[in-house]
Amino acid sequence: MKRLFLVLTTMLLVHNQVPAQSAPDCIIPKVESYSLSKGCFTLQPGSTFYIKTKTPEGAAAFEEYLAACPLGLVKAPGKKADVLFTIDDKQLKGKSQGAYQLSITPKGITVKAAGFEGAFYALQSLMQMRNASPDGALAACRIDDSPRFPYRGLMFDVVRHFHSKDFILKQLDLMALLKMNRLHMHLTDNEGWRIQLDCAPEMVKGGAFGSSKFFNTILSGLPRGFTREPAGYVSGTVYDDGTVYGGYYSKKDIQEIIDYAAARHIVIVPEIELPGHNAVLLHVHPEFYCQGGHKVDNVVCAGNEGVFDFFEKVLEEVMDLFPGTYIHIGGDEASKANWLLCPRCRERMAAEGLGDEFQLQSYIIRRIEAFINKHGKRLIGWDEILEGGLSEGATVMSWRGTKGGIESLRQHHDVIMTPNTYYYFDYGQDAPYKEPIAFNAYLPLKTVYGYDPEEEIRSSAGPGVDCSHLLGVQANLWSECIIEDGHYEYMLYPRAFAVAETGWSPAGSKDYAAFRAKAARLAEWIKEQGYHPFDLATEAGDRPEAGIPLPRISDSIKASWSIAGGAAEDASILVDGFRGGWNINDARAWKEARNKEMVVDIDLGSVKDIHYVGAEFVDYGTRRMFVPQDTEFSISEDGKVYTPLKVPQARLAAGRKHFQICTVGGPVSEKGRYLRLSFNSGPDKVRARIGEIMIN
């Protein structure tokens, strides 16, 4: 609170463009319904409040929050007050948890809710209205509001780069303002162990100050042709100024985060990763490696009882510490290669009658789930936990697009949608050449806002799919490329506003133009409060060339491609007359070639005079995508005998370090029907991404 509403008056001076009276349409997330009436009420510092309740539990915490809130309200001496909160469980029967009714009349403000959560959200709506009004004049209105989904979350990766307790508290203030109610903290991974536990003090001692070679290399600019090293933990990375990189939350820090969140009706969901993403654990406990002397990996041995003992004692302490129902155990991206080679893992598979390595993963998840359930908690995992079968009570976070969510719903698992295609905030949010380095491109506010989980599931799986187990949505901010707190906030806001609206506001109520305008205003306001949002006023948008049709040399142009002499596959998107946009993951515009000699064959339909040939490639070190340096165009009249064309190789523009789209090609003076482009995507693990091939 103290962080978010520091200088209420400053912003009142700044926003002279807002109307004198603020109406509920300024609120993010959009309220369920409202009606306006005549007049207004002026809320000022010194306005009084009174809480009338038959449910005293939670009253003290709410009153404390209210009294400290920058609205400057003071407790009324009697029952008469400017803002009257009526809280009892007879209110708003049949409405979802967190519902409230807020009435503003020229005489005063009344709030009704079944519990303090609803009253808290009414207060957030009031604060947003107050912030949008220069002199505190709030339009007379009645708001009826309730959340669409019970789970409205953000995930913070505090491992890849550590972010302090104070930083987390600051974000909790804003989450509360947005009526978000779950903060998932990704606390362990290859690059660090960020939670102090009495049962495993060695983990922060040996695993909280270090980093990953891979991410360091990304951040310093990947060299051309760089191939990824095994994800590994490097102890004690020392910077030029002598500081050692890292950090962790003490138990006291964790308790403070939990309490601060609870006062804002936010539950912390802790994540302890297993069985993969564990390079740091293997660094501290090398005995947890699989046996057999094979490749170094980040997956723990599934045949080693010591591994289960370790995770059980860790989870027990974590469950004691965090009051929420959910414990997240990761479960994603666990390579199974070592398990198949390891005698102990093979023994486990034989003893448990497990048919393959996926069933071994399932065995781990089920065993850990039983342990968690025994303690009265519930397991959440990334969608890989579906592999090999999942027990009924587990909740799935669907991150690889929508597929995992659909499969989970079919199996009647609770689901939280967090698709990388819409909700990965480590992706850049504007034209990549003007943005800081990002882990992927391109996820602007409009795309994030456009996502509706139910709509997307139904359009992929058919209208008959049962969405009753869809708990809600969550955006994830992975921090591989994000060191600075300001950069972290920049990636979060205003995109988190869009997630809040999707999680809370009624289905089918979206209006991007209206949302963008209020998001720009709220972003401006949070900037006043010391946050660092992306500036929507400078948004460049998608690649302008992508929307402009190219001249067509032929209406019957066709393309196919083949890999190292393999079968030809359709590649018509490469000659569809449109360049790709910044979203290089859009399979309708870009094609990926990995590790292979590629040949693209183009048939113009008849012999043509050709004056220009060119092909677009992406150069994007973060994704290990490089422009091939051995491209060759050749031409043929009969499709049998090809003559190479002399066109220049790609030249990378100076000054665009992290991302660029390069054209390979140039003017020619040729006649032919068949054109061939060959290239090599590069060494192992390096890839090429090709877009439009332009011929005229």
Catalytic residue numbers, as ranges: 189, 277, 333
Phi-psi region of 246 (alpha: psi -120 to 50; beta: other; left: phi over 0): left
Which of Zn ion, ligand ACM, none binds 332 (CB below 5-8 Å, type-dependent)?
ligand ACM
Residues 6+ away with beta carbon under 8 Å from 32: 144, 145, 146, 505, 506
| Count of residues touching Zn ion (by CB under 5 A) | 6
Which of Zn ion, ligand ACM, none does residue 345 bind to, with CB < 5 to 8 Å depending on kind?
Zn ion
Residue 545 CB contacts under 8 Å (≥ 6 apart), including other chains: 579
Q: Is residue 345 close enough to count as binding Zn ion by CB under 5 A?
A: yes
- 303 makes contact with Zn ion (CB under 5 A): yes
Nearer to ligand ACM, 333 or 539 (CB): 333
At its nearest, how many Å lie between ligand ACM and the CB of residue 416? 12
Task: Decide: is 301 part of the binding site for Zn ion (CB under 5 A).
Answer: yes
- Tally of residues, the chain: 696
Token duo for residue 215: 């991410």
Q: Does 290 bind Zn ion (CB under 5 A)?
A: yes
User: What is the contact mask toward ligand ACM in residues 313 to 352, using x (rule: CB under 6 A)?
Assistant: -------------------xx-------------------
Number of C-beta neighbours around residue 421 at 10 A: 17
Q: Do 217 and 186 contact (CB within 8 A), yes or no?
A: no
Cα angle, residue 88 at apex, residues 86 and 94 outer, rounded to 5° = 110
> What helix, strand, coil percent values describe the chain, rounded to 5?
30, 25, 45
Phi and psi (nearest 5°) for 395?
-110, 140
Distances (CA, A) of 124 to 95, 314, 472, 494: 18, 36, 20, 17
Read out DSSP for 548-588?
SPPPPS-TT-EEEEEETT---EE-GGGGSS----S-TT-TT
Minimum Å gap between C-beta 447 and ligand ACM is 18
Instruction: Candidates 288, 289, 326, 399: give the one binding ligand ACM (CB under 6 A).
Output: 399
Q: At closest approach, how far in Å is the CB of 669 from ligand ACM? A: 50
Based on CB atoms, which residue is closest to ligand ACM, 382 or 490? 382
| Partner that binds at residue 333, options Zn ion, ligand ACM, none, CB closer than 5 to 8 Å by kind | ligand ACM
Q: Which does 542 bind (CB under 5 to 8 A by kind): Zn ion, ligand ACM, none?
A: none
Nearest CA to 400 out of 378, 414, 415, 389 is that of 415
Binding to ligand ACM by residue 421, rule CB under 6 A? no
Q: Which is nearer to ligand ACM, 310 or 382 (CB)?
A: 382
Interaction between residue 341 and Zn ion (CB under 5 A): no
Helix/strand/coil for 442:
coil
Between 339 and 679, CB nearer to Zn ion? 339
Out of ligand ACM, Zn ion, none, what residue 448 binds, judged by CB under 5 to 8 A for its kind, is none
Q: Cα separation of 666 and 614, whole Å? A: 6
Nearest to 674 by CA among 630, 651, 641: 641
Cross-strand bridge partners of residue 470? 415
Applying CB under 6 A, the site for ligand ACM has a residue count of 4
User: What phi and psi, each to the nearest 5 degrees, are found at residue 569?
Assistant: -120, 150
Per-residue x/- track, 453-492, ligand ACM (CB under 6 A): ----------------------------------------
Per-residue binder mask for ligand ACM (CB under 6 A), 359-388, x = binder: -----------------------x------
Smallest gap from Cβ 330 to ligand ACM, in A, equals 8
Q: Give dist(CA 596, CA 304) in Å, integer.
A: 39
Nearer to ligand ACM, 235 or 420 (CB): 420
Residue 479 Cβ, how far from ligand ACM at the closest point, in Å?
Answer: 12
Contact 125, 132 (CB under 8 A): no
Closer CB to Zn ion, residue 288 or residue 451? 288
For 553, residues 6+ apart whose C-beta sits below 8 A from its C-beta are 604, 608, 610, 695, 696
Cα dist. 64→74, 124, 170, 287 in Å? Answer: 11, 15, 18, 50
Candidate ranges 40-48, 219-227, 301-309, 480-488; the one touching Zn ion (CB under 5 A): 301-309
Q: Which of residues 150-179 bind ligand ACM (CB under 6 A)?
A: none
Nearer to Zn ion, 228 or 344 (CB): 344
Contact map string, positions 277 to 316, toward ligand ACM, x by CB under 6 A: ----------------------------------------
- Partner whose binding site includes residue 695, from ligand ACM, Zn ion, none (CB under 5 to 8 Å by kind): none
CB of residue 382 to ligand ACM, shortest distance in Å: 4
Written as one string, the DSSP assignment of 32-96 is SEEEEEEEEEE--TT-EEEEEES--TTHHHHHHHHHHSTT--EE-SSS--SEEEEE-TTTTTTPP
Q: Is 187 in the site for Zn ion (CB under 5 A)?
A: no
Query: Rounded distance, CA 615 to CA 523, Å?
Result: 39
We find the least distance from the C-beta atom of residue 332 to ligand ACM, in angstroms, to be 4
415, containing H or E segment: strand 414-417
Three-state DSSP at 100 gives strand
Closest separation in Å from C-beta 159 to ligand ACM: 12
Q: Mark 226-265 with x for binding to ligand ACM (rule: CB under 6 A) and - for no binding.
A: ----------------------------------------
Q: Which does residue 399 touch among Zn ion, ligand ACM, none (CB within 5 to 8 A, set by kind)?
A: ligand ACM
Q: Which residues pair with 636 in a beta bridge?
A: 674
Least distance in angstroms from the C-beta of 478 to ligand ACM: 7
Between 169 and 394, CB nearer to ligand ACM: 394
User: Nearest approach, Cβ of 663 to Zn ion (angstroms)?
Assistant: 49
Complex with ligand ACM: residue 424 or 531, whichever CB lies closer: 424
Residue numbers at the binding site for ligand ACM (CB under 6 A)? 332-333, 382, 399
Instruction: Give the residues lining the site for Zn ion (CB under 5 A).
Output: 290, 301, 303, 342, 344-345
